[in-house]
């Protein structure tokens, strides 16, 4: 049973091979064109903040460490507050609103770590770096005013790499995904069209449907006429060649 189903599968694939190929090529090609020429690339920049812990006699107090770890989440909320965001907009003279800027800003931190990362996405890699650093500077400057602590420093500033690479789009990955999806769509369409086609095209299909042997086949009259015409033309040509060869010298 499985062997028969496998044979039917590959017979349908061979029958609809051109349709499947064209559909997959179209989907992958369209994805590539959109990725390379239509979708605007987006770049990412990251600045890292360190929550410092006070030291006494070159030893870090455990209570201060636990307290600072618990404050990390609070610091993340403060970084994305309207107060800090408005200050960043003023520092860089950005022609956007607070909500528009916050859509491109993420704060990544964990309770087990004293590090907080400010991640900024922008179409301009330099602007992404400037915004990330502005957030880091604004927060480290204003945190003492907001919650009366002074234990935050900038560990790593965001920098523009020598060759900026966008985080999206990623054409090769997108095209690979579109290839898989294109194959699924193409195979699905091929099998759907096959289910709509109720005609019997071969002797084997008829025997399988009726479970009876085929006793005779009606030939295609057009093919017969074509064959007869070709045969007659060949006979006339042979006769003509024989007559020419029998001419007296």
Same domain, 27 and 50: no
Same domain, 67 and 139: yes
- Choosing from 101, 128, 156, the residue where a domain stops is 156
Same domain, 116 and 140: yes
SS (H, E, C) 78-142: HHCCHHHHHHHHHHHCCCCCHHHHHCCEEEEECCCCCEEEEEEEECCHHHHHHHHHHHHHHHHHH
Same domain, 152 and 48: yes
Same domain, 120 and 218: no
Determine the pLDDT at residue 66: 64
What separation in angstroms does the CA of 86 have from each of 91, 96, 124? 9, 10, 20
Same domain, 119 and 139: yes
Same domain, 150 and 107: yes
Determine the pLDDT at residue 161: 87
Same domain, 53 and 141: yes
The whole domain housing 8 covers: 2-39+170-196
Using one digit for the tens of pLDDT, what is the confidence trace for 200-232? 666 676 667 666 676 666 666 666 566 666 666
Residue 95 sits in a domain of what CATH number?
A: 3.30.70.1130
**Considering its fold, how many domains does the chain have in total?**
3
Same domain, 67 and 107: yes
248 occurs within a structural domain: no
Determine the pLDDT at residue 1: 45
Same domain, 76 and 147: yes
Q: Which residues of the chain have pLDDT under 50?
A: 1, 57-60, 247, 249
249 occurs within a structural domain: no
CA dihedral over 219, 222, 227, 228, signed as positive or negative: positive
Determine the pLDDT at residue 249: 44
Same domain, 48 and 148: yes
Same domain, 121 and 208: no
Helices and strands of the chain, counted as H and E runs: 9, 6
Determine the pLDDT at residue 143: 85
């Amino acid at each position: 049973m499985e062997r028969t189903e496998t044979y039917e599968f590959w017979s349908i694939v061979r029958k609809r091979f051109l349709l499947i190929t064209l559909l997959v090529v179209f989907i992958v090609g369209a994805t590539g064109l959109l990725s390379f020429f239509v979708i605007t690339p987006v770049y990412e920049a990251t600045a890292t903040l360190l929550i410092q812990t006070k030291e006494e006699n070159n030893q870090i107090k455990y209570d201060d460490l636990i307290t600072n770890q618990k404050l990390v989440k609070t610091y993340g909320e403060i970084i994305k507050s309207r107060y800090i965001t408005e200050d960043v907009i003023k520092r860089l003279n950005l022609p956007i609103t607070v909500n528009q800027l916050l859509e491109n800003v993420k704060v990544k931190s964990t309770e087990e770590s004293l590090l907080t990362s400010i991640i900024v996405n922008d179409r301009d890699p330099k602007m992404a770096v400037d915004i990330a650093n502005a957030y880091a500077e604004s927060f480290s400057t204003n945190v003492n005013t907001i919650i009366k602590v002074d234990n935050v420093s900038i560990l790593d500033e965001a920098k523009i790499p020598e060759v900026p690479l966008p985080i999206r789009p990623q054409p090769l990955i997108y095209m690979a995904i579109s290839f898989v999806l294109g194959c699924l769509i193409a195979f699905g369409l091929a099998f759907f069209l096959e289910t709509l086609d109720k005609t019997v095209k071969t002797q084997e299909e008829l025997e399988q449907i009726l479970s009876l042997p085929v006793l005779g086949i009606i030939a295609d009259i057009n093919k017969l006429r074509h064959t007869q015409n070709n045969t007659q033309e060949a006979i006339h040509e042979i006769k003509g060649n024989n007559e020419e060869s029998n001419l007296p010298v």
